[in-house]
Amino acid sequence: MLKSIDFSTFSSIRIGPRVDVFVLETPQPLPKNHQLIGGANNLLLGPTPPPLAILSKAFDFIHVDNTLLHVGAATPSGKLFSFAKKHNLGGLEFMQQLPGTLGGMLAMNAGLKGWEIFGPLLAVRTHAGWVEKSDITHGYRYAKLPDVVFEARFTCKEGFDAALAEQFRQMRQNQPKDSSLGSCFKNPEGESAGRLLEEAGFRGKQYGGMAFSAQHANFLVNLGGGTYEEAVALIQEAKEAVATKTGIWLELEIKILNIPAPF
Ligand SMILES: Cc1cc2nc3c(=O)[nH]c(=O)nc-3n(C[C@H](O)[C@H](O)[C@H](O)COP(=O)(O)OP(=O)(O)OC[C@H]3O[C@@H](n4cnc5c(N)ncnc54)[C@H](O)[C@@H]3O)c2cc1C
């Protein structure tokens, strides 16, 4: 089955064409040459993206089985956060206002400060079966998932920490409200990408409708009518300026989907 998705409204940065996306209804390998998407909260789509696939709603579920939490990979993070809060489960408080689906969070090892999704994770399920966390290479904002993930298992400990959730909510207060993909670049070891961008003069730098936010330099924001071309030009210029000034080549945290790739 194909689903028509308009990425200018679906993606969190509000950029991209309308395309037909292949829907995975059952656990199966990704069709050849296809790129999987989750909620597109970390994806910048160009005008000519590769063929895309998405999980069906059949993988949007949560259930508790004794001490284990089973979650479908299409489940939105907000739904999982609310479930943990309602059922007094601890360990997922960092998902407060962290947009995405479980699959996208796992692929990015999404998190905030010292907290990340691989913390409470036990195992993921691909079309070929369950894979334990210890068999998956992962680190800061990346995970080498063995294949498309359809479901994951988490430790399910009692005790939702409302004070911790409130701390995460407050950490989000200084983030721009404009359309974005969250942090554009990863923080280099021992450095802050935002600080490097700021020192290179990119805080508030704008091309057309796109800018590095005046509020938070590492957020590439769409101020209205921004385009893929403007976003790529800003990214390219920022990378070069920071490298010239510091010798550090910033690595993208966001993923760009276009053929040909811009970098
Ligand atoms: C306002 C804002 C704030 C943000 N704050 C944070 C933050 O604090 N911390 C943080 O880590 N991120 C943050 N992000 C980025 C984003 O929320 C995360 O990267 C999130 O995990 C993306 O999930 P998604 O479902 O939208 O994935 P997508 O953006 O659709 O995809 C991301 C990657 O996941 C892969 N993927 C998706 N589903 C699956 C699956 N089922 N199996 C295998 N691979 C899959 C895709 O192929 C792609 O490579 C923020 C984004 C926004 C817009």
pLDDT of residue 156: 82
The reply to whether ligand 1 has any atom less than 6 angstroms from the CB of 220 is no
Q: Is 66 a residue whose pLDDT tops 90?
A: no
Write b or e for each residue in 107-133: b if 16 or more Cβ atoms lie within 10 A of its Cβ, otherwise e. Answer: bbbbbbeebbbbebbebbbbeeeebeb
Active-site residue, from 11, 179, 180, 183: 183
Taking the centre of ligand 1 as the mean of its atom positions, its distance from the CA of residue 101, in whole angstroms, is 7
Interval 143-172 mean pLDDT: 95
Q: From its phi and psi, is residue 46 left (phi > 0), alpha (psi between -120 and 50) or beta?
A: beta
Q: Is 74 a residue whose pLDDT tops 90?
A: yes
Nearest CA among 4, 2, 15, 57 for reference residue 223 = 15
Is residue 172 flagged as an active site residue?
A: no
pLDDT in tens, 204-231: 999 999 999 999 999 999 999 999 999 9
CB-based contacts of 82, cutoff 8 Å, min separation 6: none
Taking the centre of ligand 1 as the mean of its atom positions, its distance from the CA of residue 183, in whole angstroms, is 11
The reply to whether ligand 1 has any atom less than 6 angstroms from the CB of 98 is yes
Enumerate domains of the chain plus CATH numbers: 2-58 (3.30.43.10), 59-168 (3.30.465.10), 176-257 (3.90.78.10)
**What is the number of the ligand 1 atom nearest to the C-alpha of 110?**
11
The reply to whether ligand 1 has any atom less than 6 angstroms from the CB of 145 is yes
- Kindly write down the DSSP assignment for every residue of 191-224, as one continuous string: S-HHHHHHHTT-TT-EETTEEE-SS-TTEEEE-S
Cα–Cα distance measured from residue 3 to residue 13, given in angstroms and rounded to the nearest whole number: 20
Taking the centre of ligand 1 as the mean of its atom positions, its distance from the CA of residue 245, in whole angstroms, is 30
Nearest CA among 177, 205, 235 for reference residue 44 = 235
**What is the number of the ligand 1 atom nearest to the C-alpha of 37?**
30
Is residue 141 flagged as an active site residue?
A: yes
CB-based contacts of 132, cutoff 8 Å, min separation 6: 122, 123
